[in-house]
Amino acid sequence: MLVLGRSQVERLLDPDALIDALAGAMADLSAGRASAPGRIAALVPDREGFLAAMPGHVPSAGVLAGKLVSLFPRNAGTALPTHQALIVMFDPGTGEPVALLDGTAITAARTGACSALSARLLARADASVLAVLGTGVQARSHARAMCRVRPVREIRVAGRDPAKAAALARELSAELDADVRAVATYAEAADGADIVAATTHALEPVVRRPWIAPGTHITSVGYNPAGREVDDATVADALVCVESREAALAPFPTGSNDLLDPIRDGVVTADHVHAELGELILGRRPGRESADRITLYKSVGVAVQDAAAAALVLAAARERGAGERISLR
């Protein structure tokens, strides 16, 4: 079995190849070719955390993998990430375990890359102003990924802690070819932005309809079992897309309060979910129909994303002779 640590995974995972690989995985999922059952979780109530299991098979990538991922929100502000994961890869022909990978880096990268895929499918072609809501791992991942699919020239960063927002703005400014600055509020970040990337653990919505301009594309990846990122009015007005209807509308620990709450309250119906990303890729559903349409990609994370990303890492590791081989026998 090949073992790959976090730094190795980060070096081996090509961000552009990842976006393309995710497009194939999303198409497989919507076409019924991929297998990705809803995640299950063991709860750790005294820490407000859980450990979830996410197996997936993606034929187009020739990969069978399973991810164990923990979500411990209280890690925010510590040296530990809120999300930590391991991925085990199996030979899809024999079921033999072939690799063990750090999944924390893959989770961060594939989440931002799939949001970038949604922007490639739904954001206006000239989208150049990006609002990043949040200051953690996913804020970084989204800023980097969005710049790969749209001509982003201005990035506004907002978070609960102004010092962290300023530090992230400085970090991204040194790395990206864009004017990056921290702003005081989520409203200021979103005002007039072409793309709004919400990456928080918010209890109350950080995306509110009065802040959203016509034609904005919104991505929301934050997950808090007790909260949500997007308000009812934005959901109601937006063309809503997801990775998987089944996953997005499932109960805890899979689904999204951003969609389940307005459906429960009669603001919208389940039919308001316009399309899966795979359906857009396959041409089964139309995307943006006008420049003024607000679009929303609500992500809950599905196993085929991790499997497709892990397949890229394993292929690169084999090509470069990276990783450590161990025997389980």
- Residues 233-278: tens digit of each pLDDT: 999 999 999 999 999 999 999 999 999 999 999 999 999 999 999 9
One domain, residues 149 and 164:
yes
One domain, residues 132 and 251:
yes
pLDDT over 90 (residue 73): no
Q: CATH number of the domain that 219 lies in?
A: 3.40.50.720
Specify if 266 maps to a domain: yes
Averaged pLDDT, 198-221: 97
Q: Evaluate whether 4 touches 327 at the Cβ level (below 8 Å).
A: no
Q: Say which amino acid occupies 261.
A: D
One domain, residues 100 and 138:
no
pLDDT over 90 (residue 165): yes
Instruction: Specify the pTM.
Output: 0.96
pLDDT over 90 (residue 129): yes
One domain, residues 190 and 289:
yes
**Distance between CA atoms of 299 and 255, rounded to whole angstroms?**
9
One domain, residues 315 and 293:
no
Specify if 314 maps to a domain: yes
One domain, residues 308 and 297:
no
pLDDT over 90 (residue 315): yes
Specify if 319 maps to a domain: yes
One domain, residues 195 and 152:
yes
Can you give the pLDDT at residue 60? 85
Tell me how many domains the chain contains.
Answer: 2
Q: CATH number of the domain that 308 lies in?
A: 3.30.1780.10
Q: What is the chain's mean pLDDT, rounded? A: 96
One domain, residues 96 and 155:
no
User: Per this entry, what is the length of the chain?
Assistant: 329
The pLDDT tens digits of the residues spanning 115-128 come to 999 999 999 999 99
Can you give the pLDDT at residue 319? 97
Can you give the pLDDT at residue 224? 87
Can you give the pLDDT at residue 225? 87
One domain, residues 38 and 58:
yes
57 backbone dihedrals φ, ψ, rounded to 5°: -125, 125
Specify if 113 maps to a domain: no
One domain, residues 153 and 92:
no
Specify if 114 maps to a domain: no
Q: Provide, rounded to the nearest whole percent, the portion of the chain with pLDDT above 70.
A: 100
Specify if 117 maps to a domain: no
One domain, residues 320 and 297:
no
Can you give the pLDDT at residue 194? 98
DSSP, residue by residue, 118-138: HHHHHS-TT--EEEEE--SHH
One domain, residues 192 and 267:
yes
**Distance between CA atoms of 114 and 66, rounded to whole angstroms?**
19
- Helical spans, DSSP H, in 123-231: 137-146, 162-175, 186-190
Specify if 164 maps to a domain: yes
pLDDT over 90 (residue 77): no
Q: Which domain holds residue 204?
A: 122-301
Can you give the pLDDT at residue 212? 98
Find the helix packing angle between 15-31 and 104-122, rounded to 10°. 70
